[in-house]
Structure 1
Amino acid sequence: MKIQESAENYLEAILVLSNQNGTVRSIDIAAYLQFSKPSVSRAMSLLRQNGYAEMDKDGLITLTPKGLEIAERVYERHRLLSTWLVSLGVSPDTAAEDACRMEHVISRESFDKIKEHVARYQSGGEA
């Protein structure tokens, strides 16, 4: 299931905003991602057409199971990579920016190994 990085960013944003606010509208996504309203509107249309998101009559956006699966995967990568980079001494802002880029291109194998390494490190094992 490979989708474009921009779609992954939108799905992740919907997940984060939904967790923070309970409901999500296009205007919330535009503010969160610092994108124009027309850009968000176009992206939401494409996400709906491809079965990743839904919008009700009141403009509330939700993720479909397929969209939620992708959003959760990307968000897990983002959180873990950010935490890992900070633990290596990278500033939190830089770590978040780098994690945002890395989360889209890292292989499952590499991510799983970093995840294992972080788990060992956090449990007191060797780094």
Structure 2
Amino acid sequence: MVSILESELAAEVTQALTDANVPRDVTVTRTVPGDPYDPDDVGGSVEYQGRGWIELYEDRDRDGQVIGDTDIKIVILVTTIAIIPSQQDTITVGGETYEVITAGRDASGALFIVQARQ
């Protein structure tokens, strides 16, 4: 359950970062399966627009197994996107598309932190 404080904090964080021109356009693409009982319904994909940025992992955090040598961190402002990114999604930032490895909220509840790989 999200508390009132978390939603207020998320709005304040979003506003402060937007005022500083930090976030960029982020597109999360989710594949939607078709109906197995309807041969005409083959599914497709849905795009969700948000705002965020890319960060690099510290060398000390890269172990080559959990966090790979080329993995990046994509940070998405919670208040700018209608879904929670998940492992089946891809994320496009700055014309580059990445596969979601893990995703979750930060401690403040204002950001989604996504481990992604090309």
Q: What TM-score, normalized by structure 2, do the two folds share? A: 0.23
Q: What TM-score, normalized by structure 1, do the two folds share? A: 0.22
Greater relative contact order (Cα 8 A, min sep 6): structure 1 or 2? 2
Higher strand proportion: 2
Higher helix proportion: 1
